[in-house]
Chain A
Amino acid sequence: MEDISKYLDNLFAQLPNTPEARHAREELGQMMEDRYAELCAKGMGEKDAASAAIAEFGSLEEVRESLGLGARPAASQPADAQPSDAQPAAAQPACQRPAAASAPGAEAVPPRPQGTSGPVPPHVEQPPQPGAASPEKHHNRGRRALLVTCIVVVAVVVAAVAWNGVSASIRGAFGDGAPIGQSASSGASGKVEKDVDASFDSVDVDVDMADVVVRAGDSAHVSCTGTKEFSYACDVKGGVLTVTQEARHEHVRGSGGKVVVTVPRGTSLRRVTVESEMGDVTISGVRATTTDLEAEMGDITVANCDLADASLDLSCEMGDVTLNGKSMGSSYATHGSGNSGSRTLKATSEMGDITVSD
């Protein structure tokens, strides 16, 4: 498996680090890993399975064309560049790594693999052949100088883009109030365990891949656990307790983590907002004027939230809505019966079910 991602890393180091290129790498990685997993399941050794998957890769040229990069001049492009470990580090622009490493908190956001290695043209590795002086050689030397110039320009652009990405992430993590739980130094697990100041009246959780639970308990507390792939930031500001998750690198694999927000029992919140792209959302025993829940690919469960007078707006694109044990089809809405009718619960799930009980 490692062989496959090394192979792809090396190949894609030759391409500009664009969203399209990252997408292509991810898709191709998916296919190769599926192939690898199937061959392994059939009893093939890991090395052989990786080699077989790599043999079916095809040609990077096809990918270049589909990314709108056009084919490279044939002279400088071996049909299928073979991966070489020494290759990326050798031609790395000198300014790039030290700059990233000296930035505060840079370790929290490892620079992307493509960013560190920079585009490495295969021809840089080919030493000029001595003693083969010919008019053609001079011609080649001129072309080589031109290519090297182009490569340096591309490398600088890639470095600048990568650096902007890193500094944006740093701003994101440190700019808005101090992140608690020291996401930068919270170790390999990306874990946060934190008692928080109960001076908030709203909760806002926004994560990509994690199950989220908001529940009532003895005191205000936030617990974020999960794989080393993520770091969390959590902050109370302007009466809002905010929890966000950030992937430490592109190509995050595996399941996400779990975020548990405990709200002091008996408090009535102004607003609870939870958004999880992949993961279940569970709200239990928390009373709020406005509750807004969104799960793209998970289930939403609301229980013990005193919904007697609340307006409900529950909708699933592909799942089912269940209210107090009764199936309601794919969506359900009702106006609150309370005197003001102003409490609302809105839940939207694209691919999961919504279950609400009083």
Chain B
Amino acid sequence: MPTDNLDISSDVIRGYIDPMILRILLDGPSYGYQISKRVLQMSGGMYAVKQTTLYSAFARMERNGLVQSFPQVAQNGKRRTYYRITAAGMTHYRQKCREWQLTKDVVGRFLEGSVE
């Protein structure tokens, strides 16, 4: 049942916010609000990311060289900070994909198919 937000286990989902953003940036550079809308959309409306979560992810990833920010004027004439994925960001994304497969597999052995 889709809800507006996931408050359960948001720790787990926050641990994957970086690769989620990187996945969105693989489609092209984007800016804060556009990325937050894309997160909501790609999560099927189940995860609305908080603005501070998004900002701290940008800051962290930029510090680690996974994304690069640049100013650009959007279609409506407003000046915005855009983010693009770097080569290091792509490597990190692929690593996180493998990590997730493993995590899902291991945790699934304990949690899946159990009592509803």
The chain A residues found within 8 Å of chain B, CB to CB, are 20, 24, 27-28, 30-32, 34-35, 38, 56-60, 62-63, 65-67, 255, 278, 297, 351
Which A residues touch B53, using CB under 8 A?
58, 62
Whether the pair A65, B31 counts as a contact (CB closer than 8 A) is: no
- Where chain B touches its partner, the secondary structure class is helix
Contact A30 B50 (CB under 8 A): no
Q: Please, which residue of chain B has its CB at the minimum distance from the CB of A36?
A: B33
Query: In the assembly, what is the distance between CA of A67 and CA of B60, in Å?
Result: 9
Report whether A278 and B73 are in contact in the complex, using a CB–CB cutoff of 8 Å. Answer: yes
Chain A residues with Cβ below 8 Å from B81 are 27, 30
Q: When chains A and B are docked, how far (Å) is the Cα of A65 from the Cα of B59?
A: 10
The yes or no answer to B86 lying at the interface (CB within 8 A) is no
Nearest CB of A to B17, in Å? 11
In the assembled complex, which residues on chain B have CB atoms less than 8 Å from the CB atom of A255?
77
- Whether A27 contacts B56 by the Cβ 8 Å rule is no
User: Is B72 a contact of A56 with CB atoms below 8 Å?
Assistant: no
Contact of A30 among B33, B48, B52, B73 (CB under 8 A): B33
Asked if residues A63 and B31 are in contact (CB atoms below 8 Å), the reply is no
Residues in A neighbouring B98, C-beta threshold 8 A: none
Q: Smallest distance from the beta carbon of B21 to chain A beta carbons, Å?
A: 13
Partner of A31, one of B48, B54, B56, B77: B54
**B41-61: which have CB < 8 Å to A?**
48, 50-56, 58-60
Question: Is B32 a contact of A27 with CB atoms below 8 Å?
Answer: yes
Q: Return A107 CB to nearest CB of chain B, in Å.
A: 27
Residues on B with C-beta less than 8 A from A65 are: 56
Question: Among the listed B33, B55, B73, which residue makes an inter-chain contact with A24, where contact means beta carbons less than 8 Å apart?
Answer: B55
Write 5 A-B pairs (CB below 8 A) sorted by A numbering. Answer: A31-B55, A56-B50, A56-B51, A57-B51, A62-B53
Q: Which residue of B has the minimal Cβ distance to A255?
A: B77
CA–CA, A59 and B14, complex, Å? 14
Residues on the A chain within 8 Å of B55, using CB = 24, 27-28, 31, 62-63, 66
* Interface core residue of B36, B59, B73 (most chain A CB under 10 Å): B59
